[in-house]
């Protein structure tokens, strides 16, 4: 049934769970008062939101929503990787350790509150004060303090000079500015409080909100920034528990845009439908296994703690992973093998894991894994608890980790206990030392190799996996402040080599951005900002 925009919008608004949304949308009437009344865009996703508050989330589902409703001082324009002023009037280094931003006069939040430098200082002060384990404060490791000398001026004082990455950080998770009259200074603010206060300054406000079910976005008339005002009359985001339901929704017209995450087979199937269009963008998404250095086999807080044996376990896993099989059997080649921490296409990317583990040429090797364990005195099979999230990284996660379990156990070197946990619980458990080894994926915050290094490998990192190395900390600081491109790339290579030796994570796949839309949807931009900006969408 070809539903009018208004009928589809009304059906989604009254729906409760995502499956109900499909049923109601398919039965909605198009008679009389249900005729189309405007250019509304309906977006479907299987991504979930952790927190609407930017201090409490560091995942793509949360960022996709935050990008629409919060303002940023600087940003990248569509189809560009250059950092330019967004909310700001000017933004520049005014000293080796000083980055100064000026704001235009008269800025306002959607609720009518004034938006001044005081809000900006408050935003970054609270990020550092809250330092939520699931938040992005690790990206602000070089931020020493923030000063607001007047209502239009903000001065960021940096610990290390000549930080080449700080402007990029401001375009990402911790750069979302919040209303100091609404948000708590020392704890994550509940989603409903934010929505009730209409504390938004981006292209849209949220006018209807049911956590991880439905979000209604309405253009914010007070928005002033880099992104053009909304070309549509509003956006309705519907959250689906299963990608199969999302596939049905875009097929039958219940949604106009399906963005994250359809299975590769679904995308292939939908590509043959003339009423739909497939959009793709530059890669940057990766998959990897994280090891908790306290609770993994022989970890620091286990009864038989032994750092050498713990390292041997991680090295054996790295030698047994068959990336090519995962790429082809699980993802039909839409994800490709990854042998390093910085994916292919980013300046400074190398492939140390290809030579260091497995057969030395990229293929797995049980012989190498067995020798590593034997040399360290590790008895086999090694009992390994391995966790994954079935609802956060697309529908193929179960197949992905079933195959990894099979690869680890094939030669009797590991006895894997595999389990899946829904993302909302998963995001808490993983930072609470619950999982000895677990799945994560990464969708970059900005287009720079640093974004694959600083959040993972600095002390007090986002992974909260108890990995810390003084040499790595220094190398990360050095590359961030190195202005010579060749010298910086060399440092980035040194970091990848060092962390490949330590193996706090084992990366194995790299993917691309994909969206499926109705054929008449325009304004889809999937670029190296790795953000879907919904204000440009029309049909």
pLDDT tens, position by position, 252-272: 999 999 998 888 889 989 999
Q: Give the whole-angstrom CA distance, residue 170 versus residue 199.
A: 20
Indicate whether 281 pLDDT > 90: no
Q: pLDDT by residue (tens digit) across 317-365?
A: 999 999 999 999 999 888 999 999 999 888 899 999 999 999 999 999 9
**157 and 189 belong to one structural domain:** yes
* pLDDT higher at 100 or 333: 100
pLDDT band at 528 (very low <50, low <70, confident <90, very high): confident
pLDDT value of residue 15:
44
CA 57/CA 35 separation, integer angstroms? 39
Within 131-209, where are the H helices?
166-170, 191-197
Are 156 and 205 contained in the same domain?
yes
pLDDT tens digits along 13-31? 444 344 333 333 333 333 3
What is the pLDDT averaged over residues 152-176? 95
Q: Do 297 and 408 fall within a single domain?
A: yes
pLDDT at position 529, please? 86
Whether residue 157 sits in one domain with residue 248? yes
Q: If you average pLDDT over residues 90-119, what whole number do you get? A: 98
Query: How many residues does the structure list for the chain?
Result: 539
Task: Tell which wins on pLDDT, 355 or 392.
Answer: 355
pLDDT of residue 447: 84
* 462 has a pLDDT exceeding 80: yes
Domain range for 395 is: 283-513
How much is the average pLDDT of 88-99?
A: 97
Region of residue 32 (left: phi > 0; alpha: psi -120 to 50; beta: else)? left
Q: In this structure, are 337 and 479 located in the same domain?
A: yes
| CA–CA gap between residue 238 and residue 43 (Å, rounded) | 6
The tens digit of pLDDT for each residue in 52-82 reads 999 999 999 999 999 999 999 999 988 888 8
Cβ(321)–Cβ(337) below 8 Å? no
- Residue 258: give its domain's CATH number: 3.40.190.10
Same domain? For 137 and 200 the reply is yes
For residue 9, what pLDDT is reported? 52
Rounded to 10°, the helix 307-320/397-409 angle is: 110
Regarding whether 318 and 176 lie in a shared domain, the answer is: no
Q: How many domains does the chain have?
A: 2
In this structure, are 319 and 463 located in the same domain?
yes
**311 and 208, same structural domain?**
no
Same domain as 223, residue 301: no
pLDDT at residue 35 above 80? no
Task: Give the number of other Cβ atoms within 10 Å of residue 303's Cβ.
Answer: 5
Do 377 and 253 belong together in one domain? no
């Amino acid at each position: 049934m070809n539903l009018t925009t208004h009928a589809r919008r009304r059906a989604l608004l009254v729906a409760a769970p995502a499956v109900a949304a499909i049923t109601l949308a398919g039965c909605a009437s198009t008679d009389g008062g249900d005729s189309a009344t405007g250019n509304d865009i309906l977006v479907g996703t299987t991504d979930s939101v952790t927190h609407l508050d930017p201090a409490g989330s560091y995942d793509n589902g949360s960022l996709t929503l935050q990008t629409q409703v919060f303002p940023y001082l600087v940003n990248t324009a569509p189809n560009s990787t250059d950092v330019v002023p967004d909310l700001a009037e000017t933004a520049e280094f005014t000293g080796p350790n000083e980055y100064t931003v000026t704001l235009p006069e008269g800025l306002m939040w959607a609720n009518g509150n004034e938006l001044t430098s005081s809000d900006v200082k408050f935003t970054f002060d609270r990020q550092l004060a809250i330092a939520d384990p699931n938040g992005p404060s690790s990206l602000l490791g070089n931020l020493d303090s923030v000063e607001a000398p007047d209502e239009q001026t903000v001065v960021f004082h940096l610990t290390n000079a000549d930080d080449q990455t700080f402007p990029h950080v401001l375009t990402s998770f911790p750069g979302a500015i919040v209303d100091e009259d609404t948000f708590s200074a020392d704890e994550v603010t509940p989603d409903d409080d934010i929505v009730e206060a209409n504390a938004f300054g981006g292209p849209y406000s949220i006018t209807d909100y049911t956590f991880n079910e439905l979000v209604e976005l309405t253009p914010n008339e007070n928005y002033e920034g880099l992104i053009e005002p909304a070309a549509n009359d509003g956006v309705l985001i519907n959250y689906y528990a299963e990608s199969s339901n999302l596939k049905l929704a875009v097929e039958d017209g219940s949604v106009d845009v399906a963005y994250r995450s359809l299975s590769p087979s679904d995308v292939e199937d939908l590509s043959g439908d003339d009423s739909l269009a497939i959009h793709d963008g530059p890669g940057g998404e990766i998959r990897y296994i994280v090891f908790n250095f306290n609770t993994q086999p022989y970890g620091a807080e286990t009864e038989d703690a032994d750092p050498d044996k713990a390292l041997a376990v991680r090295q054996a896993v790295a030698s047994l992973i068959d990336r090519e099989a995962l790429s082809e059997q699980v993802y039909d080649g839409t994800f490709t093998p990854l042998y390093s921490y910085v994916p292919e296409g980013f300046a400074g990317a190398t492939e140390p894991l290809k030579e260091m583990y497995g057969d030395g040429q990229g293929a797995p090797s049980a012989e190498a894994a067995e020798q590593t364990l034997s040399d360290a005195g590790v008895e086999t099979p090694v009992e390994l608890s391995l966790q994954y999230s079935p609802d956060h990284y697309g529908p193929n996660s179960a197949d992905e980790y079933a195959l990894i379990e099979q690869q680890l156990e094939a030669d009797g070197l590991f006895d894997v206990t595999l389990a899946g946990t829904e993302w909302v619980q998963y995001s808490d458990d993983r930072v609470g030392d619950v999982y000895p080894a677990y799945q994560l994926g990464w969708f970059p915050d900005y287009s720079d190799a640093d974004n694959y290094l600083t959040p993972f490998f600095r002390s007090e990192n986002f992974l909260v996996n108890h990995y810390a190395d003084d040499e790595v900390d220094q190398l990360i600081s050095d590359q961030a402040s190195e202005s010579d491109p060749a010298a910086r790339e060399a440092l980035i290579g040194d970091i990848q080599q060092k962390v490949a030796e330590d193996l706090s994570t084992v990366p194995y796949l790299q993917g691309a951005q994909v969206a499926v839309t109705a054929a008449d949807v325009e304004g889809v931009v999937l670029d190296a900002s790795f953000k879907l900006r919904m204000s440009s969408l029309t049909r």
